Structure formats: structure tokens, C-alpha cells
Chains A and B, each alone.
Chain A
Amino acid sequence: MPVVIKKSNRWRVLCGHIGLIAFIALTVLPLLMIISISLRPGNFAGGSLIPHHISFEHWKLALGMSYQDADGNLVKPPFPVLLWIWNSMKVALLSAVISLTLSITSAYAFARMRFKGKTLMLNGLLLLQMFPSVLALIAIYALFDRIGEYVPWLGVDSHWSLALAYTGGVAQHIWLIKGYFDSVPYELEEAARVDGATPFQAFVYVLLPMAVPILVVVFVLAFLGGMIEYPVASVLLHDEQKLTLAIGSRLFLFNQRYLWGDFAATAILAGIPLTAIFLFTQRWLVSGLTAGSVKG
């Protein structure tokens, strides 16, 4: 950017590197510590960052395997971690499928059609997506509690009700998908319609195949949202066999039973895939967010 390169510039670059590295070291330190903790024997913290003695006991427990401790006792996994991961995936997939299905056609109509109340509805969606579901936690709990009296599989402690409770992201998804549809040129659909396609056929056979990237991204975002959600799940699920990972992992860290090492291994086991997926999709997420505010 600067046209004239000054002598002091080299020093500035060096300072920049040092500053960034120091900052990164500070922010990454907790992550390194957690890896170190998961490899230390025992459940008490303490010791250096690089463990003197590496033990895979916590990892075995996290993967649902038992191990023999130094005294020859068989230590069993404290919690069904793999089951929790499976529960989380079930709920997250279900909610992602439902909310994506609900959003696609609306996004198409908002992007391509003209009808009364369109601006009003779009603004309404933009306003409503600001309201987090945590504000309606009690209503969500009370509703599913009451529904459960008549329809037990849709009550408290059910994965279906949790998946439905997560569907509130629809407003945001409609905006994200609409933004993408807006950027796809209309000419191809028009050509299809000249050839006799109905608007619905033009949408399904022409626009949707071109919109696969955004559908994947929204699906992954909805899925991740379901995987990491805490408050709603903590209210709706109580049975240990039904918990999702996000609320189950909390059971490791009670003051009376502080399973620090087991928690660390579980956290890494669950965290790596989620983090990887997020890093992979964040580009689209962020561009969607800024597009929403900058381009409109």
C-alpha cells in the first residue's frame, strides 16, 4: 500500500510479526494445555505443559474402552460419550434437514417473485432473527412438556422435540439462501421457462443445481448450530442416555467429581471434527454475514 518504502518499514514488519506471534501464543496456549492435560495420567491438573509421562487412559475412556490402572483396577468409562456424540448428530441432522427444507422455497420466492407484503416479510424475518431462542426457553420447555402429555415422543427428553426447537434458524437461512439466489443470473431460468417449464420446474431443475454450494453451507451451519447448542438442550434433555454431547460434557466437571483429564480427551475428540468443519465453511458464513449488512 505505501508507495514510498521507508527504512523504518523493516522494523515495523518485525514488530508486526512479534506482536502477532505473541498474541497467537497467548490465544493458543489454552488449546495446548488441554492437549497436555488429556495425555497426563490422573484427573488432577498440575505439571508442565509437556507431560513427563504420557498416558492414554483418558483417550481410552473417551472412546468407550476400559483400562487397567496402576493398582490393577478396571476403570470403566464414566459416561457414554460416543452415544452422546451420536445423539448430537441425530438431532443436528434432523434439525438441519427440517430447517433447510422449510427455507429453500421461501428463499426462491423472495429472490425471484413479486407479491404483496414481500418487503414487509423480509424485514420481519430480519427483525425476528435477532431474537435468540434462549429468551423463549421457558415457553419451549412448557410447550413440549404439555405436548408430551398427549404425544410422548414429542415431549421433554425426546430428540424430535429438540430438533424441532432448533428449527428457529429458518429466518436467517432464508436470508442467506436468498442472497445467493440473487447473485445467480436469471437468464437460465428464463430460458427454461421459454421452453415450457413451470416456475417450479425452473426452480428445481435449473436454479437448485446451481445453488448446491449455498445449500451445503446452510446445511452445515444448521448442523453445527445443532451440534454445539447448549441452553435449549439443557432444558429439554435430562435422561443421561439421551443427552447430547454439549450438555453431557458438562457432567465431567462437577466439583465433587472433577474428571479434568477425561473431559480434555472428550473435548478434543469432539472438538476436532467440529472445528475442522467450521474452518472449512467459515469463508461462506462470513461472506454471508457481511453481504447481509453491506450489500443488502
Chain B
Amino acid sequence: MTARDSEKLLKKAAGKPTRYGFESTATDKALAPSMKRSYMHYALAILGCITLMAGLELVTLLYTAHQPIYAAVTMVLLAITTYIYVSPRLYAYRYVVPGVMGVLIFIVFPMLYTLGISFTNYSSRHLLAQPRAAEVLLQKSTAGDASLDLKLYAVGSQYRLQFSDDNGSSFVSKPVDLPLGNDVDHDLNRSIHAGPVSVILQPTPKSAPLTGEPLPLKELIKRQAGLKQVVAVLPDGTELRQSSFTRFAQTKPAYRANRDGTLTDNADGSLIKPNPNSGYYEHADGKPLEPGFRSFVGFQNYFRIFTDPAFHEPFLRIFSWTVTFAGLNTLLTFAIGIVLAVLLNWEALRFRGVYRMMLFLPYAIPAFISIPVFKGLFNENLGEINMVIEMFFGTRPSWFSDPVLAKSMVLIVNTWLAYPYMMILCMGLIKAIPDELYEASALVGAGPLTNFFSITLPLILRPMAPLLIASFAFNFNNLTLITLLTGGSPDFLDTQVPAGATDLLVSYTYRIAFQDSGQNYALACAISSIVFLIVAALAVINLRLFKVNSQHA
């Protein structure tokens, strides 16, 4: 440190600005003229150009996808980045950019996006953007008067469509392609974009029927995917669409678009307006039309969590269990970990290496394997654990349906998973405690318990504090454990939303978003945002403790 300081002073005395902001700049003058550009520099420059071009491509893509705000933000970021890589003054930042961009894109942006969704009504009922919802409504049609029977005739690999109406007049098309498949793509978005195929019909005189036999119904059903896309146009311009397997009917669009973004109902001419508060297109009397669209609803989701008893009540229950779970787990694993660490640091004990390895094993096994193993072992009817318990006590505890037992099982399993981590941390910290302290206490004649409570524990606690908080935060959000072990069950019977006795806040949001039929993404995001606040508080405390520690070290 002193060497650097004196160097700094020297630089100040020389009055030279630091080039590159590099810590040692004394050599810069020497190297500047002889600086050689290697192949690597050119390769990196080319890489940079490619990245820039990809970035610009992304901007155009975002713009064409009607995301002007994202396009603008990306453009600004690109501009800043380019400036950093071009300006010699910002040399140090060239190194920082990839990592910081990574953090911004992969950590910060998803967090902001979560926060953003929490202010909308995004859910399975309000899945589409408003223009898309309008498109879906405009695609809806009502049946008209004309209705004709369909027959298919194969012509090589193509088909001719023949229609006949009840009056006996008949129409036929030119040969067309009809792809196989039972139904149109279920994906709503894609079926909108796959364009309909117009087929012009010509009247056929009854005296000259088509050659060959019409295809049997079975073959016709096989070609539904193609037929659904067919719009048959009669000579008088009437458009026909499929109404049943063998019938085509005249159809009229149910709604038409107006210039101001509203729709008009073709049946009665009434006006339909989008209502951003409810997220639906609505008739004047408030009758909503499916599908709904995504819209901004302000703090509505947060109000629901804190005031609506249906959400408020399970939220509080789950919150208190989450805190209890995370706290108890941190305590239990720390208690077991420190005792084991003390034992493993005891020089009188032999085979410590083997013990250490065996004790560490639970942590090394991937959780996605060990948690289902426990799930099987705890199985109420088939599990090995209940077999042993029945052998000794004659009962079969219902680990998955009794709330208290389920909670204890979750605690047991997670303690098994996490104690080695605490053990390893404690071992490292105990090694750092000076031996003189124990020697002094031995001279006084203190026993191992006194040593533990007066020397080891107090000295370990301070450096452990940030790690304990990190462990608390980790367990607070231990989604993997809950989804793989209990899935949150046993479920509360007295709540409307799906929630269970072992649900943590994260698993609760997971269920609301991905398992409940309503798929209320927005509500789940609101809960996630609340958890963000809690984690942020923990992180700040952690940073404080960390600072205190590093000052002492």
C-alpha cells in the first residue's frame, strides 16, 4: 500500500494525468510508442463490430415488434457501449462493460420486469396485448343464410372441392392443396397469422359431374386443418367458411373496427369499447367480451394482497411460516454445523479426514436427486421410514397430510441438506482462532463446554453473521425444496387460492402463476416484489456486517 501511495505522490508531483486509470502508470510513457497491435486486437475489434451489428439488428427487431421503448433503451445502451469502446478516457470501463451488461440484462432487468408485471392484470384471462385481443375479436364470425354441402375429389395429390346447395345447384373449385392434420394449430397466436386460402368456385352443370368417387368422410376429416383455412367464394361474391365437417356456410365478421380503436357489433350496430380497468372490450352495459387483454391496473394487486381477506389471510400464514422455516433452519444447521466443526478440529480425534468427507456428502449430492429420495423414503404407505417407525412404535405418521408433521419433515430434510455447508464454514473460522486462547483456558482448568461457549462461539459469531443472514435469505426462497418435496401440501382447506401448510412465499407465487388454473402472473409478481423488498433489506444488513468484518480483518 505504501509503495502505491508514494507512487501516487510521485505522479502528482509530475502533474501527469493517469492514462487508462491504471494503478501503475509510470510505465505508460515507455510503452505508448511501441504499442503493437496483435491479431488478437483485430479479432476483438471484429467481434465488437459483430456485436454492434447484432445490437442494431435487435433494435430494428424490437421496433418492428412495436416495442419502441425497449428499442430506445437498447439504442441508448448500444450508444453508451460504443462510446466506451471508442473513447481512450474510458479505457477501464471497456473491461467492466461485459460483466455489468450481463448483470443488468440477466439480473436487474428480470427484477424490473417482475415489478412491472405486478402493476398489470397479466393472467390467463388477460394474456394478449390489446391489439391482439382486438384481432381475435375481429376474426370472430356469425353464420349467414347460405349453407352448402361439401364433397372432396382427389386429383393427383390435390383436391377439388364440390359444393351443392339444397336447391340442387352445384359449384366446383380448381384443384387445391389440403394438408393433413386433424385440427388447426392450438396455438392461438399462430392460428391468427396463418392466412386463409381463398378458393374461387365455378358453377357446374349437373350433366357433367366430376370424375371418380368423392372421398369418404374419414379422409375428409383427416384434412380438417386445410379445410379450416379455406374461404370458398361463390360466383356472386358470397364467402363461405367451414361450419361442420361436411358443410360450408356463409359467414360474416361479428365485429368491425372503428378508427378510434373501438369496435362495432355488426349484429345490432352497438359500440364496443376497450376498458383498461377491467382489461376487456365491453358493451355499453359493461358486458365483457373474451378474450381480455393486458392492461395497467396500478396498485390493485397489492391492495388485494393486503386488504382482500381471500389473499390477505393465506399470505400472512405463509409469510409467518416462511420466516419460521428460514430462521429455524439457519439455527438448526448452524448448531449442528458448529458442533461437528469443533469435533473435526479436535486433534485428539483420528480419522478426521474420513469423517469430514462422509459428513460433507449430503451437500455434494444434487438436491434434485436427494429431495425426491426423501420424498420416497417418507412416503406414508411405501416409504422405508414409516416401515421402521411402524416396527418400533406401531404407527404410520402421515408425513404429507398432517400440517405439523409435514412442516417437521421439511425442516428435517433441509437440515440434512444444509448442515455440511455450515460445518465447512465453521471449520474454516475455528482454524483461525489462535491456540493461545485455548491454552490459557486449559491453564485455568476450563472444560470443553466452557471453551465452546466462552471462546469458540463468541469468536465465530461475528464473521458468521453475514453468512447466517445469507443462509436465511437462501432458505427464505428455497423453492426447489418445497416444490420437489411437498409441493406446498397439505393444502389449507379454508382458502380460495391454492396454498398449503408448507408453502413458502416463493412456492406460493409459483403455484399462483404456474399451477393454479387462473395463472395469475400479475398477483404472483406482486408477491415476488414484496419478497424483493425483504431480500433487499437482508442484503443491505449483510453488506453492513460485511463492511464491519472487513474493517476488523
Contacts and interface: CB of A to CB of B under 8 A. Distances in A.
B454 to A, nearest CB: 14
A211 to B, nearest CB: 14
Interface in B501-553: 506, 509-510, 513-514, 521, 524-525, 528, 531-532, 535-536, 538-540, 542-543, 546, 549-550, 553
A1 B376 contact: no
B483 to A, nearest CB: 7
Interface in A102-128: 102-103, 105-110, 112-115, 121, 123-128
A31 B365 contact: yes
A105 B95 contact: yes
B471 to A, nearest CB: 11
B61 to A, nearest CB: 6
A126 B549 CA distance: 15
* Residue of A114, A136, A295 with highest tally of chain B CB at under 10 A: A136
A185 interface: no
B425 A139 contact: no
Nearest to A10: B348
A139 B525 contact: yes
B23 interface: yes
B117 interface: yes
Contact of A13 (B348, B443, B510): B348
B92 A128 contact: no
Given A45-B382, A108-B95, A228-B366, A30 B374 contact: yes
Interface string A196-207: 111111001000
Contact of A139 (B113, B360, B466, B549): B113
Contacts of B535: 130-132, 135
B343 interface: yes
Contacts of A13: 348-349
A134 B349 contact: no
A283 to B, nearest CB: 9
A20 B439 CA distance: 25
Interface stretch (A56-64, A66-74, A272-280): A272-280
A25 to B, nearest CB: 9
Q: Is the interface of A mostly helix, strand, loop or mixed?
A: helix
A24 interface: yes
Interface stretch (B27-35, B208-216, B276-284): B27-35
B114 A139 contact: yes
Contacts of A137: 479, 509-510, 513, 528
Interface core residue of A137, A224, A230 (most chain B CB under 10 Å): A137
Given A275-B364, A295-B550, A231 B483 contact: yes
B377 A275 contact: no
Contacts of B306: none
Contact of B103 (A170, A193, A282): A170
A216 interface: no
A275 B361 contact: yes
A294 B122 contact: no
B246 interface: no
Interface string B454-480: 000000000100110010011001011
Contacts of A253: 372, 375-376
A228 B343 contact: no
Contact of B362 (A27, A168, A249): A27
16 contacts: A24-B355, A24-B359, A27-B358, A27-B359, A99-B102, A112-B23, A130-B535, A131-B539, A138-B525, A149-B65, A151-B61, A200-B40, A224-B366, A228-B366, A230-B483, A250-B368
The 8 closest A-B pairs by CB, nearest first: A106-B99, A296-B550, A109-B95, A136-B110, A139-B113, A102-B102, A115-B92, A130-B539
Interface of A: 1-4, 9, 12-13, 16-17, 19-20, 23-24, 27-28, 30-31, 33-34, 37, 44-46, 99, 101-103, 105-110, 112-115, 121, 123-128, 130-143, 149-151, 164-165, 167-168, 170-171, 174, 186, 190, 193-194, 196-201, 204, 224, 227-228, 230-231, 234-235, 245-247, 249-250, 252-253, 258, 260, 263-264, 267, 270-271, 274-275, 278-279, 282, 286-287, 289-290, 293-296
